[in-house]
Copies of this chain bind each other. A is one copy, B any other.
């Protein structure tokens, strides 16, 4: 029998799980956010392989680290009101809808389930780019444009768990409607899935587009400028709705770095209502692919920025 190295330390830890499209991310962290272990487990989306791999991982860590003080999980789709499952996730991860994770993992305490973008934001507020903040929005720029929002320290969930779909707000009401019926949405202008449409087939990825723009290609520059302007304009609108202190930008397209953040800063300042001189900070996501796993752990341990130690006067 292999000795369980960490068990003698008897460190209390929380297990955060994030189910993605092609891999499972897991972290074991202390209440203070110290990382004891992390792991990425790839899977193929058939026969609920992802579920079995999660169960195997949890069992392995239980043996190696001792039982966790709590387990949290995040996944794509809309979380159920009772937070025991993902209620709605059509089209992929067959078997995920209504799978009760507390039962499935035979957990002694309830396993709270969050939408993946909600978890990523909670993770970034707990241990990432927005530590200590309470009014934050997150954009994930990738195939589509995902998002999440926290206001007054409260993570917005909404009537059916779909709050924070920030990519699906209108920028140009004469534009085509996206999958969510939103005309000319931010996702239409920024999402990688529309890059061929936006560039008349010239580019297959935003990465190529940004590289060409950086090399001075005028058409590429114009398209990329519209993408960034659409994001800046959307942030301006949403500041009026959500009154954020900070905006976190993550996802693959955020790897464009200054080619994104420098013009974005200018557009946000242009469109932002700077009441009393207030400017929202534009921050780069810090936790990368593990943001959701951190957020799931934070959720399991009851991290809640809505309960501050004190409320400072304005």
Pick the residue among B163, B229, B244, B275 that contacts A173 (CB under 8 A). B229
Q: Is A78 touching B163 in the complex (CB atoms < 8 A)?
A: no
Pick the residue among B78, B156, B237, B273 that contacts A275 (CB under 8 A). B78
A223 to chain B, nearest CB (A): 15
Pick the residue among B158, B166, B237, B245 that contacts A151 (CB under 8 A). B158
Chain B residue nearest to A185 in the complex (CB) = B237
Q: Is A158 touching B181 in the complex (CB atoms < 8 A)?
A: no
Answer whether residue A233 sits at the interface, using C-beta atoms and an 8 A cutoff. Answer: yes
Q: Is A243 touching B314 in the complex (CB atoms < 8 A)?
A: no
Pick the residue among B82, B151, B177, B314 that contacts A82 (CB under 8 A). B314
Given A182-B236, A275-B78, A276-B160, also A241-B241 (CB < 8 A): yes
Query: In residues 161-178 of chain A, which contact B (Cβ within 8 Å)?
Result: 161-166, 168-174, 177
Answer whether residue A240 sits at the interface, using C-beta atoms and an 8 A cutoff. Answer: yes
Q: Is A237 touching B160 in the complex (CB atoms < 8 A)?
A: no
Q: Is B81 touching A275 in the complex (CB atoms < 8 A)?
A: no
Question: Which residues of chain B are near A149, meaning CB under 8 Å?
Answer: 241
Q: Is A87 touching B314 in the complex (CB atoms < 8 A)?
A: yes
Question: Which residues of chain B are near A271, meaning CB under 8 Å?
Answer: 177, 181-183
A230–B184 Cα distance when bound, in Å, is: 13
Given A158-B243, A242-B163, A243-B158, also A183-B233 (CB < 8 A): yes
Query: In residues 76-98 of chain A, which contact B (Cβ within 8 Å)?
Result: 78, 80-82, 87-88
A230 to chain B, nearest CB (A): 7
Answer whether residue A286 sits at the interface, using C-beta atoms and an 8 A cutoff. Answer: no
Question: Which residues of chain B are near A158, meaning CB under 8 Å?
Answer: 135, 151-152, 242-244
Q: Is A159 touching B240 in the complex (CB atoms < 8 A)?
A: no
Answer whether residue A9 sits at the interface, using C-beta atoms and an 8 A cutoff. Answer: no
Q: Is B165 touching A156 in the complex (CB atoms < 8 A)?
A: no
Q: Is B243 touching A157 in the complex (CB atoms < 8 A)?
A: yes
A87 to chain B, nearest CB (A): 5
Residue ranges of A at the interface with B (Cβ–Cβ < 8 Å): 78, 80-82, 87-88, 134-135, 149, 151-152, 154, 156-166, 168-174, 177, 180-183, 185, 229-230, 233-234, 236-238, 240-245, 270-276, 278, 306, 311-314
- Since A81-B312, A165-B273 are in contact, a sample of 6 more A-B pairs with Cβ atoms closer than 8 Å, ordered by chain A residue number, is A154-B306, A156-B243, A161-B243, A166-B241, A168-B240, A181-B274
22 sampled A-B residue pairs with Cβ under 8 A = A78-B276, A82-B311, A82-B314, A88-B275, A135-B158, A151-B158, A151-B163, A154-B306, A156-B241, A158-B243, A160-B243, A160-B314, A163-B242, A165-B241, A166-B240, A168-B237, A169-B238, A171-B173, A181-B274, A182-B271, A183-B233, A241-B241
